[in-house]
Amino acid sequence: MRLLAIDTATEACSVAVQTPKGVFEHWVEAPREHGDRALGMVDAVLGEAGITAADLDTIAFGRGPGAFTGVRIATALVQGMAAGLDRPVVPVSTLAAIAQGVHRRTGHRRVLAALDARMGEVYWGAWTLDEGGVMRATDEECVVPPSAVPLPSGSGWAGAGTGWSRYENLLTERIGAQLAICLGHALPAARDLLPTAAAAYAAGEAVPAEQALPVYLRDRVAERPQRG
Amino acid sequence: MRVLGIETSCDETGIALYDTERGLLGHVLHSQASVHADFGGVVPELASRDHVRRLLPLTRRVLASAGVDEAAIDGVAYTAGPGLVGALLTGAAFGQGYAWARGLPAIGVHHMEGHLLAPMLEPETPDWPFLALLVSGGHTQLVAVDGPGAYRLLGDTVDDAAGEAFDKTAQLLGLGYPGGPAVAAAARNGRAGAFRFPRPMTDRPGLDFSFSGLKTAARLAVERGDADDAVRADIALAFEQAVIDTLVIKCRRAVDATGLRRLVIAGGVGANRRLRETLAERLADVDRFFPRLEFCTDNGAMIAWAGAMRLLAGERTSQRVGARARWPLMELQPPGAGS
C-alpha cells in the first residue's frame, strides 16, 4: 500500500508518504505559506520515497477542524489530485491526527485533543487507541468554550493541542482528576494521518474525490442583518 | 490546446473547457446568489465553503457535456486574483492539484483580463486595439486595450463599484439580491422625473467614477417620504438612470480622448438593458461589443480563454497555490513577455 497524506489545517504544513519502505515526511511551521509550499513538499517526499504519483493507492488529508482557509487548501488540492489520478481519498480529522501524534511520541492511549478555535472556544475531541494502533473518536467532535467541554468517561487522559496551551487552567480545572497529564501545545502532522488512512483504505472506506470535503464544526460564520 | 478554466473569485463557481482550435467545448456556472441573499451581499466565508463543494462536480459535468475525456485536457487555467482570497484559493488549489496529477501546465489568470477578453469567445470579435468598460459588482473601470496583455487604466471608481451600488440600493429598497436585475425590474414601473439624482464626477474632467453618493441620495429619498411601491419604483428608476448616464458620459469621453472606435462592455452590469440602449443612442459612431450575458458575468470560459492565450505563449504558474486580493491590471505583460 502506498499512501500520501497532506495537512494544512493549522500553522503547520506537512506532507507524508507511506510505502513498504517506511514513512517519509516533511513538516514546517509556516503560517500563510501552505499554498506556496504544499505541492513542492509532495514532490520532495515522493522523491525520497522513490515513487511517483501514479504509484499511490489513495490520498489522505486533514479535513479539519482548523483554520478554514487552510483546511480548504488541503481539501481542494486533494480533490484535484485525486480526480486527476483517479484515486479515492480518506478525509481524516485534524484532532485525530493530534491524538495519533501524541501516541506516537509519548505512548499515551487516551487523548483529549483541543485546537484553539478563537472567539473563546476550542475544537474538541476525545480519542482512544484501538487494537490496530489507530486513534478512534469516543464521542462527536465539537466546538465549545473551554469551560464547557464534554467530560470524557474514565481517567488517564492526556490533553494536547493549541487549545490546551491557550486554556490550560480552564481545561485542567474542567477535566479534573480524569486528566493524567497536560502535554500542551501540539500541532498535527501528516504522518499521523497515515494510520487512520491505511486502516480506512484497507477496510474499503476510502471515498471518491467528490467526498473530499472540509469539516468546520463552526458553522455560524455570518450574522443575518436585522430586518427593520 | 484544450484548457480547463476555473473561476472562483467571488460568488459564482464557473468551469469551462476551451479548445484553441475548435472554440468553447462546454461551460457551467453555479451561482451562489441564494446562499448570500439573506445577507444583502457576499459573505466571503460562505462563498469559499460553497466553491469547495462545487468545483469537482461541476468539472465532471463540463467534461461529460463536452464529451471530452480527461486525457484530452492540455492545460489548466484558474483565476488567481483580484477577488476574495479564500474563494480564489479554492480554485487555485483544485486547479494546481489537478494539473500536478496529470502533469499539465497550469496558469493563474487575472480575473479582469478574463473579462476584458471575454468578447473573444464570440463569433464577432473586436480588432485590437479597443476600449473596454468593465462594470460589475467589484469593478468599474475604463481600460484601453492596446493588445493582448497591454492594458492602460483610464478611469476607475474612487469608492463603490456600480454593481455594488445597485446591490446596496436594492437592499435599501427591499428588492433583494443581486441588486442589478432587481433595481432594473422595479425601475420599469417608475415615473420619469419623479426624482432626479446627481451624475457624480461628470462636472469635472477625467474618467473616474464615484457611486457612493448616489446610494446616499437614494437612501435620503427613501427616508424623506412614504416609500410605497410606486415611490420605490420611482427611486429605482432615478437611480438606474443616474448610474447609466454617468457610465455613458464617461464612455463618450474615453472614446473622444483616445480616438478608439471600438468599445467592449464587460461585467455583470453590461447586462443592463438601459445601458445598452443608452450606449446605442449616444455612441452610435462606435462599434459596441457585448459578450453574451453568460460571459458578461463571472464565468470559467473567459478564464480558459485568457489562460489558453498565456499557456500557448509558454507562461506557467509552477506549483504555487497563490491568490491576490488586489492585483493591478497594469502589472500584466503581453503573453510570454515575462517567461
- In a 3-state reduction of DSSP, which class is residue B190? coil
Q: Which residues lie across from B67 on neighbouring strands?
A: none
Chain B interface disruption, residue of A46, A77, A227, most B CBs within 10 A: A77
- In a 3-state reduction of DSSP, which class is residue B290? coil
**Can you tell me the distance from the alpha carbon of B115 to that of B295, in angstroms, rounded to the nearest whole number?**
8
Separation in Å, CA of B53 to nearest CA in chain A? 7
The single residue listed with the C-alpha cell 482550435 is B21
Helix (H) or strand (E) holding B261: none
Separation in Å, CA of B77 to nearest CA in chain A? 13
pLDDT per residue rounded down to tens, chain B (339 residues): 999 999 999 999 999 999 999 999 999 999 998 888 888 778 999 999 999 999 999 999 999 999 998 889 999 999 999 999 999 999 999 999 999 999 999 999 999 999 999 999 999 999 999 999 999 888 899 999 999 999 999 999 999 999 999 999 999 999 987 889 999 999 999 999 999 999 999 888 899 999 999 989 999 999 987 778 999 999 999 999 999 999 999 999 999 999 999 999 998 899 899 999 999 999 999 999 999 989 988 999 999 999 999 999 999 998 899 999 999 999 999 999 865
Structural domains of chain A, with CATH? 3-93+189-218 (3.30.420.40), 94-183 (3.30.420.40)
- In a 3-state reduction of DSSP, which class is residue B42? coil
Does A111 contact B at CB distance below 8 Å? no
Q: Do A35 and B101 touch (CB under 8 A)?
A: no
Sign of CA dihedral B10, B15, B20, B25: negative
**Can you tell me the distance from the alpha carbon of A165 to that of A146, in angstroms, rounded to the nearest whole number?**
12
Nearest CA in chain B to A212: B53
The ipTM is: 0.97
Phi/psi for A112 (5° steps) reads: -100, 105
**What was the pLDDT predicted at B339?**
55
Separation in Å, CA of B246 to nearest CA in chain A? 30
Helix (H) or strand (E) holding A49: helix A34-49
**What was the pLDDT predicted at A194?**
98
**pLDDT tens for residues B132-160?**
999 988 889 999 999 999 999 999 999 99
Enter the pTM of the model: 0.94
CB atoms within 10 A of CB B277: 12
**Can you tell me the distance from the alpha carbon of B265 to that of B288, in angstroms, rounded to the nearest whole number?**
7
Residues 6+ positions from A55 with CB-CB distance below 8 Å: A2, A19
* Residues of chain B with a CB closer than 8 angstroms to some CB in chain A: 38-40, 43, 45-46, 48-49, 52-53, 55-57, 59-60, 70, 85-86, 89-102, 319-323
**What was the pLDDT predicted at A226?**
58
Q: Do A72 and B86 touch (CB under 8 A)?
A: yes
Q: Do A36 and B57 touch (CB under 8 A)?
A: no
Q: Do A80 and B99 touch (CB under 8 A)?
A: yes
- In a 3-state reduction of DSSP, which class is residue B82? coil
Q: Do A210 and B320 touch (CB under 8 A)?
A: no
Q: Do B100 and A39 touch (CB under 8 A)?
A: yes
| Residue stretches of chain A with pLDDT short of 70 | 225-228
Separation in Å, CA of B166 to nearest CA in chain A? 18
Within 34-73 of A, beta carbons closer than 8 Å to B belong to: 34-36, 38-40, 42-43, 53, 68-69, 72-73
Q: Do B94 and A40 touch (CB under 8 A)?
A: no
Q: Do A80 and B94 touch (CB under 8 A)?
A: yes
Of A34, A76, A225, the CB nearest to B94: A76
Does A173 contact B at CB distance below 8 Å? no
The single residue listed with the C-alpha cell 476525545 is A126
Does A28 contact B at CB distance below 8 Å? no
Q: Do A83 and B56 touch (CB under 8 A)?
A: yes
